[in-house]
Structure 1
Amino acid sequence: MRAFLATVRSLGKAGLEIDVAPFDWKSPALHSRYISNIHYLPHPSQDPRRWAEETAEIVKRRGYDLIVPMCERSLLPLVKYEDLFEPGQIAHPGRQALAAFIDKAETKSLALACNVPVAPGRLLRTSDNADNLIDEFDLPIVIKNTASYRIESLDYRSKVSIARKPEQLSAALADLDPAEPHLVEGYFPPSGKGQGVGVSVLASKGTVLIAFQHARLLEPAGGGGSSIRISEQLDPQLLEACRSLAQRTVLNGVAMFEFRRDRVTGEAILVEVNPRFWGSLPLAIFAGVDFPCMLYEMLVKGKQPKQPDYRIGCQAQNLVNSVYDHLFRSEGRRWKGIWSSFTDIGMAALKGVGLGPRNLCFDSFDRKDFAPGFREITALPRVLVGRINQRKQKLPESRNVTPQS
């Protein structure tokens, strides 16, 4: 929802007519004032080819300038069946960049070739077991599928497991699909004092034109979406790493390079690359880097955007993640979590009408587009119940394996 809504608002405020084809027909984002038409198509997982054909029919009939895939579920089938569309009509990073960044094993190999630090690791072998992996990497150990989504199973998003105990590692290995390739990696930093850092870029034929950096201020210990992020100055070393990877893959579009930074030493490694718009996009726009508009100007108008001087120290908060963290991940008494949740909801509502701290924004709230934020508040109980049920299904007490998205 975050990247989708931020993109709709960005392009809509620029005066463009925006139509959408959602996967979640109940999303609060669909109530944005900047959406002109909503096309309800069957999910692409049912038949990716047919979904692409129906999308192409709508595009031809409506005469759109640009199609912006918001996640892998639309990106993969649109690129695979790109011949159904006009040349350059789909905003994707290029086939070479997509192949390198969708597959985490390919990303790792590319990073090593470009001298970009990564966690120690390799492809999992059928002969591997908990004992030999602990001997090789020590605990904690990270196990993840080489791709979050595959064209053959667009309705399933693979998860990442962090095993901190031998029994957790054994359980995680037993749960893996032997037909799917997986990476096994050592945890970084081993001390656990790590922080997620993202460098978002817009590149033209391999040359990075725009860059923005943020850090996670609050994130789950087991991984997943962060509750609060902050804009910070570009780290020259991280930016150079992004430039090297973009040049090697001839990146043509947007991407977010996710790093893990040691809070003590400052050392950082590349974790993965998202070759499409990312969840923290609202923060970049709030800080002064309007990626969707610049992407449109570059791909449709042929303009080369220039690096803006964005604001440092801006914070963006995800209301749903924040409330979930307060209620189910916070330490201490339950009433504190309840009180903090009400405080966040109240602050989000104030920001939605243009009040509150100037350096703080909430992902879904905008004083010129209040309906999605209001709808998110009213949908909170349903969303939280859904998350609790998902957690119960994925974390049986007998196994206690911690997932990371």
Structure 2
Amino acid sequence: MARILVLDGHSAATLAITRSLGRAKYWVAVGSNRGIDAPAELSRYCRLSTRYPVPYEDASGFVETVLEFARKNEIELIIPVTDFTIAPLSKNRHQFQGVSRLALGADAAIELAADKFRTISLARELRIPVPETVLVSSLEDLDRAAPNWDFPVVVKDRFSVRWAGNRAVLGSVAYAYSIEDLKKKVGHRLKEAGDVLIQRFVQGAGIGFSCLAAEGKVWLPFSWLRVRETDPRGSGSSAQLSIPLTPEVEEASRALVTQAGLGGICMVEFKRPHDGGPPALMEINARPWGSLPLPIACGINYPLLWVEWLLTGKLPPERIEYKKGILCRRLVNELTHLEHTFHGTPPGWPLPYPGFFETLLKISLPWYPGMHYADFWFRDPSPGLSGLGSWFSGHLRQRFKSKSSA
């Protein structure tokens, strides 16, 4: 079997890929940033692990370290999982020719999907609903374009990672609660990044669509509903539920994936407004995503089918009838969600916010038929236990630090 290196060992998607490929008898190594917890390297399915310089602090050092490891260990396929590792490898893919294959799509597709403003522009061209969004390059632009929107307003970077030579500026997402707050937060991001997006907040349910894109077609469509988010105001999800595909989400997603020229496993995310409007595009990820364990639990083994296509050219079935009503949760994210509700509605947040006891009742049931855990596996307990231990130890250190400074 092929020897495979999966990067970004801290990522939930990396753990899912490691388990999927390891169970299929592939030889799997895991690479991770130096100095951080990496649960995937503790998996029983990880044969070897390596550490590399933090890519957004030293991109060339990261590439050199990965290349050296690949040569030394005869790695046939390298799978980068996050934007931090995808961009440096994509820009230096020529160095890996004759050494290892990179699980990457075309440069143009990677660059388009990384640019939130370009993806919004593409959706508009395809007549796919998007939240009202303005690209701001100066405070004067904000004064001219300041929309008459209700607050909060979303302030988000155009790129989650903006590269400048060997380093990168990390993107952020924040909420502005007044015009003064909006100007302050926009001004801060302009100094850091040069431009920023302001976007009307969409109150609604998060709906995801995933697939494997190959040879200009969409294979293995899958859909899910966000049940809870790590930050109740909006963030990555802590629990997701598999749902039937709907024509409007599938058609919009297929158009976006094919027009963007994506390759490999990818996802598109929408919000369905509570007021009954059509789903609005939130983002496109031309890479593995955090809730990847859910489709695997439902019968679509994306990592395995993706790797088989990359290594052998074997295309997957066009569709697989997957299980509906399966809930997948990540315990440490659920605990963080619960912690947010314990502290109550954030100052200035004008929208409904989940209550603590209501949330506690929902997440306290450890298991029922149809529930799966992304991090905890009975056959592979170490990654989940490590993540849980890190969560508690981090909170204890933070509490001790707060008391010491008081």
Q: Same fold (TM over 0.5)?
A: yes
The farther-off stretch of 24-33 and 60-69 is 24-33
Q: 1:98 aligns with which of 110, 115, 124?
A: 110
Query: Is 1:186 the equivalent of 2:188?
Result: no
Contact 1:326 1:338 in 2 (8 A): no
Change (3 A) 1:385 1:254: farther
Query: Is 1:50 the equivalent of 2:46?
Result: no
Name the counterpart of 1:74.
85
Name the counterpart of 1:276.
287
Give, as a single letter, the amino acid of the residue that structure 1 aligns with 2:199. Answer: E
Name the counterpart of 1:108.
120
Change (3 A) 1:237 1:341: closer
Give, as a single letter, the amino acid of the residue that structure 2 aligns with 1:281. Answer: L
SS class of match (2:129): coil
SS class of match (2:313): coil
Q: 2:163 aligns with which of 145, 151, 166?
A: 151
**Alpha-carbon distance between aligned partners in 2 of 1:195 and 1:65, rounded to the nearest angstrom:** 40
SS class of match (1:40): strand
Contact 1:232 1:313 in 2 (8 A): yes
Q: 2:383 aligns with which of 367, 372, 375?
A: 372
Query: Is 1:170 the equivalent of 2:183?
Result: yes
Structure with a larger share of its residues in strand: 2
TM-score normalized with structure 2 length: 0.84
Give, as a single letter, the amino acid of the residue that structure 2 aligns with 1:64. Answer: I
Gaps of 5+ in 1: 348-355, 390-405
Name the counterpart of 2:32.
22
SS class of match (2:162): coil
**Alpha-carbon distance between aligned partners in 2 of 1:197 and 1:148, rounded to the nearest angstrom:** 21
TM-score normalized with structure 1 length: 0.84
Alignment of 1:280-319 (within 5 A): 280-306=291-317, 307-319=319-331
Return the structure number with greater relative CO, CA threshold 8 A, min gap 6.
1
Give, as a single letter, the amino acid of the residue that structure 2 aligns with 1:204. Answer: A
**Alpha-carbon distance between aligned partners in 1 of 2:175 and 2:156, rounded to the nearest angstrom:** 9
Query: Is 1:83 the equivalent of 2:97?
Result: no
**Alpha-carbon distance between aligned partners in 2 of 1:196 and 1:388, rounded to the nearest angstrom:** 33
Q: Deviations over 1:34-65 (max 9, x none)?
A: 00011122222332123212212221222222
SS class of match (2:77): coil
Q: 1:198 aligns with which of 193, 205, 208?
A: 208
Give, as a single letter, the amino acid of the residue that structure 2 aligns with 1:144. Answer: K
The farther-off stretch of 111-120 and 179-188 is 179-188
**Alpha-carbon distance between aligned partners in 2 of 1:34 and 1:103, rounded to the nearest angstrom:** 34
**Alpha-carbon distance between aligned partners in 2 of 1:234 and 1:386, rounded to the nearest angstrom:** 44
**Alpha-carbon distance between aligned partners in 1 of 2:375 and 2:206, rounded to the nearest angstrom:** 22
The farther-off stretch of 39-48 and 74-83 is 39-48
Name the counterpart of 1:207.
217
Give, as a single letter, the amino acid of the residue that structure 2 aligns with 1:235. Answer: T
**Alpha-carbon distance between aligned partners in 2 of 1:387 and 1:346, rounded to the nearest angstrom:** 28
Change (3 A) 1:141 1:377: closer
Shift of 1:271: 1.1
The farther-off stretch of 140-149 and 378-387 is 378-387
Q: Deviations over 1:328-364 (max 9, x none)?
A: 32477xxx959977995882xxxxxxxx423101110
Q: Aligned Cα RMSD in Å? A: 2.8
Change (3 A) 1:41 1:130: closer
Change (3 A) 1:213 1:343: closer
Q: Deviations over 1:288-314 (max 9, x none)?
A: 111101110111111110121111110
Give, as a single letter, the amino acid of the residue that structure 1 aligns with 2:154. Answer: V
Alignment of 1:214-233 (within 5 A): 214-219=224-229, 220-233=231-244
**Alpha-carbon distance between aligned partners in 2 of 1:129 and 1:386, rounded to the nearest angstrom:** 43
Name the counterpart of 2:14.
4
Name the counterpart of 2:6.
none
Contact 2:161 2:171 in 1 (8 A): yes
SS class of match (1:217): strand
| Seq. identity, % | 29
Shift of 1:165: 2.6
Change (3 A) 1:82 1:297: same
Give, as a single letter, the amino acid of the residue that structure 2 aligns with 1:245. Answer: L
Gaps of 5+ in 2: 1-10, 345-354, 401-406
Name the counterpart of 1:362.
373
Change (3 A) 1:203 1:129: closer
Change (3 A) 1:210 1:343: closer
Give, as a single letter, the amino acid of the residue that structure 2 aligns with 1:211. Answer: P
Contact 1:10 1:290 in 2 (8 A): yes
Contact 1:73 1:154 in 2 (8 A): no
Q: Deviations over 1:242-292 (max 9, x none)?
A: 211222222211111111111341521111111111011111111111110
Give, as a single letter, the amino acid of the residue that structure 2 aligns with 1:16. Answer: Y
Change (3 A) 1:156 1:357: farther
The farther-off stretch of 78-87 and 136-145 is 136-145
**Alpha-carbon distance between aligned partners in 2 of 1:38 and 1:326, rounded to the nearest angstrom:** 33
**Alpha-carbon distance between aligned partners in 1 of 2:249 and 2:85, rounded to the nearest angstrom:** 29
Alignment of 1:386-397 (within 5 A): none
Contact 1:197 1:215 in 2 (8 A): yes
